[in-house]
Structure 1
Amino acid sequence: MCSTEQKPLFRDLTAEDTEPEVTEIESLCINCYKNGSTRILLTRIPHYKNVVIMSFSCESCGYENNEIQPGGAIAELGVRWKLRVEAPADLNRQVVKSDFTSVRIPEVDFEISAQSQKGEVTTVEGVISRAVAGLTQDQVARRAEHPEAAEKIDAFVENLQGLRALDTPWTLLLEDISGNCFIENPEAPKKDPRAERTDFKRSKEQDHILGIYTHEEPCGDSPVDVSDSLPGTLTPADPSEGSYDRQVAEEILQFRTNCPDCNAPADTNMKITNIPHFKEVVIMATVCDACGHRTNEVKSGGGIEDKGVRFVVRVANRDDFSRDILKSETCSMSIPELDLEVGGAALGGRFTTAEGLVRASLEQIGCAPELSGDAPAPAKERMAEFMGKLQEVLDNKRSITIILDDPAGNSYVQNLNDDPEQYDDGLQVSRYERSFEQNEELGLNDMKTEGYEAS
C-alpha cells in the first residue's frame, strides 16, 4: 500500500519556483455574464500569514479582476490597538489591516468602518494618504456641482495633512473582530512605549459577521449540523483500548487536524497528565509531515483560579536552568535585565524549563521581520544585539530574573526546596486579586453564577 506524500497547501514563492501550483476554474463573468476563467494561487507572505490570490479574466469582454483573501484561521479573540503618534518614526510603522479592521482618529473625528476597504499591508502614513486620495479623487466635479460640500472636504483634508505634518500628537485606534491586524513596534524586543494592544471577546453578533455559529444556532435559514465537518474523531493512539473514563489520563489520544503553518492534514497527539503539587494539564503536540512544522501546547485541565499568581524566578547558574515551568497562554513574561516584556500569546502555553523559555524567546526573535528583507539597518543591529544577550544567558555568562504573571492562576514554577510549604531562595510566589480589566480580558465580568432559582 503506497502512501501519498503530503505537501503544504500554502508555500513560499521563490525565484526557483518557476511553475507554482495554480488552480484554474471556469466561472461566470459579472460584466457580460459569459464564462470566464479564475486562477487561484495559495501562497504566504513572509512574517505575515497565508493568503489566497485570485485572478479573473474574461476572453469575451476583456474584463479582469484581481483579489487577495486571507488564508489563515480567524483568531480566537478580537484585538484593539491604540497608537500615540508623536514622532516621524511613528508614521513609518508598518500596519497590517484585514477586511474587518476599523480605523479611528478621534482628534479629527475621522473613521473608516470595518469591511469598507480591502485588507492591506501599509504604514501609519499610508492609512492617511489613502484616505486623502479617496476624499480628493472627485473634488473637481464636486466643486462645480456641490461647492459647499467640496469646501468642507477641502477643510477636512487639510486637517488630515496636518496629521502627517505632526502639528500636534494624535491617536490612531484600530479594532479588528477577526484579530488579524497589527502595528509594528520599532523598539522591539523592548515594550512599545506608545502603542497598546488589548484582546477582547467577540459578541454573538460579531461572531455572526465572521460566519461563526454554534451548533445550536441557525446559520441563514436552516440550522447548522457540523457533525460531518469535524476534522476527525478523538481516538486513542492505541485502538485496542475501549474505555474513555479515567483511563483517558493514562493514554495518548490522537485526532486529525490541519497544520497551522501550511494547512496540510496533520495529526495532533494529546495527553492528560498531573503535575505534582499543582493540577491536571492537557499537553498537545502536532507535527506536520508536509512542511516539518512542530507545535507544542499546554492547557489547564481545570478552570480559572480564584486569584492571579506572580512568580519571580532567579536564573544564575546551570541548576536554575533545569527548573520546570508551566506557562499558560494567559501568562505574560518579562526579563527586567534585558528590558524584555511579552504577552501570553507570544510564547503560548508550554510545559518546559527556565532554559526552554529563554531558548524559545531566542528562536521566536530570530524569526522576526526586523532581521530580514529590507528592514532598516538600526532595527537589524538592535535585534542582533538583543539576541546576543539572550545567547549569553544560555551560555551562563549573564544572570537574569524571569517574572511570570498569570491573572488566571494557571501557571506553575517548580519549587526546588524539599519542603513544599517553603519556597527556595531563587523563587518568589505571590497571589493577588485580579483587577476589573484583567477579569474583563478573561471574560469573567459577564459571568453570573449566583442568584439563579430552579424552575
Structure 2
Amino acid sequence: MSAIGQLEPVRGGPLFRPLSAEDEEQQPDEIESLCMSCYRNGVTRLLLTKIPFFKEIIVSSFTCSSCAWSNTEIQSVGRIQEQGVRYTLAVTVRQDMNREVVKTDCATARIPELDFEIPAFSQKGALTTIEGIIDRAVAGLEQDQPVRRAADKDVAGKIDEFIGKLKQLKEVDSSFTFIIDDPSGNSFVENPCAPQKDDALVVTRYRRTAQQDAMLGLEAEETDENPADSMEDLRNEVKSGGAIEPLGTRITLRVTDPSDMTRDVLKSETCSVEIPELEFELGMGALGGKFTTVEGLLKDIRDLIVKNPFTLGDSSTPRRVEKLQAFGRKVYQIMEGHMEAHFILDDPAGNSYLQNVYAPEEDPELKVEYYERTFAQNEDLGLNDMRTEGYESGLTSER
C-alpha cells in the first residue's frame, strides 16, 4: 500500500483539510524514506490540504540528516480540468513578488522580457511565490556553474550575466510580465484584490490541443470513468451541448426583490459573472457550467471568495479577512433583498440564460444584449483556427 493509502482522516474528518494556521490537528505525516543522494534513510513529510482553485494537493518535503539533502514539491490529486489556463501578470511593484503561486509540474513559466522559460515537466510542482519561482530558477542555473567554468568560461560567463538579470527582476526596478501556462488547468496565481478584479492579472482559459492532451496522458474518450462519478457530475455541473452562437450574449438583471433569487439561471462554462455594486467579476471558466437559481449562484460565489484558504493561513492579514467577510455580508444582503444590485451574465458563446418571469411579456428588470465577439474572445473559444470554407464542396468531390 502506498504512503497516501496509509493516511487516515483526522478524527473521522475529511482527508484533505483547508490549510489553516489555527488547525492544530493538521500536522504532516512522517514516513522514513530512502535518500536518492546518499542512499541512506531520510524523512518524508506529507501534508494533505486544499488550495483555492487548485482542489486538493499533497505537499511533500524530504530531508536527509546524513547528507543534508532536501527537496520539497506538491502533487495535485484533483482531476485535470476541462480547459487549460494561462495567467498573465504585469509585475510593477515589489509587493507583486509575494503573490502566492501554485505551479504544477506540467505548467510552463515565462518571462518574455528576458526570453526566459521554465519548460513543462522540467521542475516538480510547487506552492510558492513569484520570487520563489525566480529563486528556484537561479538555484538551478547556479548548480552546474563550477563545471561550466572549468569546461567553457565563455558560456559560464553568459549564464552568470543572465543569473544577474534574473536576480535584478526581484527588485522590480522596471516592470516585467510573468506568465504561467498550464494545460491541466490546475495552476494558480493569487489575486490580492479579491473579490475585486485585479487589473494587473489576466486569466485566460482555453481548449487544449491534441498535442497537449497527449502530453497530459489523456485519451480522446475516457472509458474507465466511474458511473457514480458521472452521475455526481450531472447533478452538480452542466456542459453546453449546443453549437457556439453567431453572437455573444450579455444578460443584465436588476435585482430589486427577494423573489428575483428564485429565477432560473443557466451559466455555461464560457460565461463570466459581474456584480458592479460589489466591484466583482468572476472570469470565464470559474465555477464551471451550472443550472441553478440566482440565489444558488450567489451562494457559490460567496463560498468561492469567503472560504478562500489563502486568507486563513500565516499569510493572512486582518484587513484582508475583513474585506472578504464584508463581501460575504453584502452578498447576503442582496440575497435577502436588503440591497439592490445588477447581476450580469456575459457569455461570448451565447449559451447562457436567465429566466424572464414575465414571459411572454417583456421583463422590466431584465435586459438581453447581443454583440459581435472580439478577436480575443474568438481565440478563447478556439474559433480563429477553424476552417469551414469549401468544407461542403470538399465532401461533394470526395463522394
TM-score category by the smaller chain? 0.7 to 0.9
AA paired with 1:196?
V
Deviation at 1:347, TM superposition (A): 3.0
Match of 1:302 among 214, 232, 242: 242
Q: 2:279 maps to what in 1?
A: 339
Are the aligned partners of 2:109 and 2:181 in contact in 1 as well (CA < 8 Å)? yes
Alignment of 1:413-428 (within 5 A): 413-418=354-359, 420=360, 422-428=361-367
Distance 1:64 1:428 in 2: 59
Tell me: CA distance 1:90–1:448, structure 2 relative to 1, closer, same or farther (3 Å): same
AA paired with 2:340?
S
Distance 2:97 2:70 in 1: 34
Distance 2:46 2:27 in 1: 13
Choose between structure 1 and 2 for higher RCO, CA contacts under 8 A separated by at least 6 residues. Answer: 2
Residues 1:119 and 2:125 aligned together: yes
Distance 2:72 2:132 in 1: 21
Distance 2:160 2:36 in 1: 36
Match of 1:180 among 177, 183, 186: 186
Distance 2:36 2:27 in 1: 31
Distance 1:174 1:65 in 2: 22
Residues 1:441 and 2:380 aligned together: yes
Q: 1:222 maps to what in 2?
A: none
Distance 2:208 2:160 in 1: 37
Residues 1:387 and 2:382 aligned together: no
Match of 1:170 among 147, 170, 176: 176
Query: What does the per-residue CA deviation read over 1:80-132, in whole Å, with 9 as the maximum and x for residues that have no partner?
Result: 11111001121110111111111111212222111111110111111111122
Query: What does the per-residue CA deviation read over 1:185-235, in whole Å, with 9 as the maximum and x for residues that have no partner?
Result: 0111111111111122222122111111225xxxxxxxxxx65x3423xxx
Are the aligned partners of 2:74 and 2:126 in contact in 1 as well (CA < 8 Å)? no
Tell me: CA distance 1:8–1:448, structure 2 relative to 1, closer, same or farther (3 Å): farther
Matched length: 376
Distance 2:97 2:37 in 1: 40
Distance 1:299 1:149 in 2: 52
Distance 2:37 2:165 in 1: 39
AA paired with 1:427?
L
- Point out the more displaced range, 11-20 or 45-54: 11-20
Residues 1:11 and 2:3 aligned together: no
AA paired with 2:226?
P
Give the unaligned 5+ runs of structure 2.
1-8, 64-68
Tell me: CA distance 1:316–1:297, structure 2 relative to 1, closer, same or farther (3 Å): same
Q: Larger C-alpha radius of gyration, 1 or 2?
A: 1
Deviation at 1:269, TM superposition (A): 6.0
Match of 2:48 among 43, 50, 53: 43
Are the aligned partners of 2:74 and 2:127 in contact in 1 as well (CA < 8 Å)? no
Alignment of 1:228-377 (within 5 A): 229-232=224-227, 256-257=228-229, 268=231, 284-285=234-235, 296-374=236-314, 375-377=316-318
Give the unaligned 5+ runs of structure 1.
1-5, 58-62, 216-225, 233-255, 258-266, 271-283, 286-295
Tell me: CA distance 1:213–1:350, structure 2 relative to 1, closer, same or farther (3 Å): closer
Tell me: CA distance 1:129–1:424, structure 2 relative to 1, closer, same or farther (3 Å): same
Are the aligned partners of 1:75 and 1:179 in contact in 2 as well (CA < 8 Å)? yes
User: Greater helix percent: which structure?
Assistant: 2
Query: What does the per-residue CA deviation read over 1:356-389, in whole Å, with 9 as the maximum and x for residues that have no partner?
Result: 3322222222211243112133321221222222
Match of 2:88 among 74, 82, 92: 82
AA paired with 1:383?
L
Partner secondary structure for residue 238 of structure 2: strand
Are the aligned partners of 1:82 and 1:196 in contact in 2 as well (CA < 8 Å)? yes
Distance 1:45 1:326 in 2: 28
Q: 2:66 maps to what in 1?
A: none
User: Greater strand percent: which structure?
Assistant: 1
Residues 1:210 and 2:216 aligned together: yes
Deviation at 1:310, TM superposition (A): 0.9
Q: 2:395 maps to what in 1?
A: 453
Distance 2:186 2:320 in 1: 24
Are the aligned partners of 1:53 and 1:68 in contact in 2 as well (CA < 8 Å)? yes
Are the aligned partners of 1:80 and 1:174 in contact in 2 as well (CA < 8 Å)? yes
Tell me: CA distance 1:208–1:300, structure 2 relative to 1, closer, same or farther (3 Å): closer
Are the aligned partners of 1:323 and 1:413 in contact in 2 as well (CA < 8 Å)? yes
Q: 2:164 maps to what in 1?
A: 158
AA paired with 1:165?
E
TM-score (normalised: structure 2): 0.81
- Point out the more displaced range, 47-56 or 438-447: 47-56
AA paired with 1:328?
S
Are the aligned partners of 1:55 and 1:64 in contact in 2 as well (CA < 8 Å)? yes
Partner secondary structure for residue 360 of structure 1: helix
